[in-house]
Amino acid sequence: MGKLRFLFALWMAKLSIPALKITHHDGTDFPGSLACRLCPDFLRYVGKPPTIVAITGTNGKTTVSNLLTDALEASGKNVLSNRAGSNIVSGISTALLKGCDLLGRMRPYDLAVLEIDERSSPRIYPYVKPSFVIVTNLTRDSIMRNAHPAYIADILTRNIPTGATMILNADDLISCGVSPENPRVYFGIDRLPGDTVACKNLIDDLRICPKCSAKLTYIYRHYHHIGKAVCPACGFHSPDSDYLATDVNMEEGTMSLREGGTNYRYRLISDSVPNLYNMVTVIAALRQLGYSHGEIIPLLAKASITSTRYQAEQVGHVTLIRQMSKEKNALAGSRTFQYIAQRPGRKELLLMMNCLGDAHHWSENTCWIFDADFEYLKDDSVTQLVCTGARCRDYKLRLLMAGVPENRIVCQPDEFKAAECLHYTPGDDVYVLFGTDSMALSYRVYDHMKQTALQRAAEQDKKGQVQA
């Protein structure tokens, strides 16, 4: 009976896919959601590839998943993946059912690379048994959903299968402790210029030793609690990295990857520390899958961050940039703000990291806004900040608290009108920062910004001709 129910659910779900295409929906979630409604244990029966790499963690899951998938496909592998980031039960079910035939048998994929939501672990790992589990990091995320990262670490430890090899961030003492009985390897980044000992950020999720509760001593921090630490009381310390990024030169775009005392030279895929971690994570995963550094270097040489997360282009007299900055994720926001502030030249920002559901409720927990380091945005290079969406006034209040001069701040709830409030001063970098909820809206707003930028450029050119 169970198998018949599974087949019925599979066929109905597969029939929904062309229907979604006709109606111009992406279909990354609904087919799996339908299948699980019709057959609650759908994941038990659906076929899986022989090797599964699961990717979880607070930040970087989608980027790591897509980079790893791109590299594997470039090497000739047939890879099943949930590229769009649909990472809960319905999304995983959708990816697997798309990869199987009408009897639920998996087509000849070499392996699967699956981004998996941490909270969904209890419903996924009983049926999806990964060979490798990558934990990018565990930091403070949506406090309304995830609470403290140690809570998420416990969920993962209780649900990840014991046979899976863990690929862990040695610089994050929270995530590197997940599933301690499993085989494990570590990746990390050596000391960088600008690293500190004291935490300069509002969020510091690990101050005391996980073993004896004494105060930790940090040797260096890249940001927040991410770095190298030791407990002076019991000797507990960050583990040594099997794959260590060292000799990092952001200006030249190079680094060395140290493994077993040997350094291998790589080109960077980005000039930000979070994406440096993403790259090192992918290298560690490929090494565990049996690739040599000689094979990995050319595979990553052409790699790039997915356009759903970041895109930039010259439009008129400005550079327009779409950049994700997750709503309800203070650490992700802080990293984005710091990156922008440290970039050369002038910047104008459109802040629309909004939870779209907030527009329909009179109240929501906005604590994440006050945990994010908006202080980076008071830098003089940030000449204008346009706040938009349902939370625009909350953003304005937080910016004022951070010391941003009020004359730099514009508050406009309508996203499209907000795009027209930007100056588009020639030579500026003009950003739209969006969250996961507002990703689809960000594309439309970005298109409107392009039109506005071209109009402003024409007006600026005309004024220049008149003056001439």
The yes-or-no verdict on residue 120 having pLDDT over 70 is: yes
List the one residue out of 4, 10, 3, 23 whose CA is nearest residue 98: 10
Q: Taking the CB of residue 79, how many other CB atoms lie within 10 A of it?
A: 20
The yes-or-no verdict on residue 157 having pLDDT over 70 is: yes
Sign of the dihedral through C-alpha 213, 137, 51, 72:
negative
pTM score above 0.75: yes
* Alpha-carbon radius of gyration of the chain: 23
Question: Band of the pLDDT at 178, cuts 50, 70, 90?
Answer: very high
The yes-or-no verdict on residue 25 having pLDDT over 80 is: no
Question: By mean pLDDT, which of 68-72, 256-260, 301-305, 353-357 is the weakest?
Answer: 353-357
* Domains assigned to the chain: 2-301 (3.40.1190.10), 310-467 (3.90.190.20)
For residues 368 and 424, give the distance between their C-alpha atoms in angstroms, rounded to a whole number.
29
For residues 171 and 327, give the distance between their C-alpha atoms in angstroms, rounded to a whole number.
24
Question: By mean pLDDT, which of 27-36, 242-251, 453-462 is the weakest?
Answer: 27-36
Q: What is the pLDDT of residue 21?
A: 75
% of residues, the chain, pLDDT over 70: 95
- State mean pLDDT over 268-274: 91
pLDDT in tens, 86-103: 889 999 999 999 999 999
Structure tokens at 329: 């994720």
pLDDT in tens, 283-314: 999 999 999 999 999 999 888 777 667 889 99
Structure tokens at 306: 């997915």
Sign of the dihedral through C-alpha 121, 69, 58, 352:
negative
pLDDT in tens, 186-222: 999 999 998 999 998 998 999 999 999 999 999 999 9
Q: What is the pLDDT of residue 363?
A: 61
Q: What are phi and psi of 60, to 5 degrees?
A: 95, -5
Q: What is the pLDDT of residue 26?
A: 67
pLDDT in tens, 274-290: 999 999 999 999 999 99
Question: By mean pLDDT, which of 19-28, 375-384, 419-428 is the weakest?
Answer: 19-28
Q: What is the pLDDT of residue 453?
A: 96
Structure tokens at 128: 């999806």
The yes-or-no verdict on residue 466 having pLDDT over 60 is: no
- State mean pLDDT over 341-365: 82
More confident residue, 358 or 28: 28
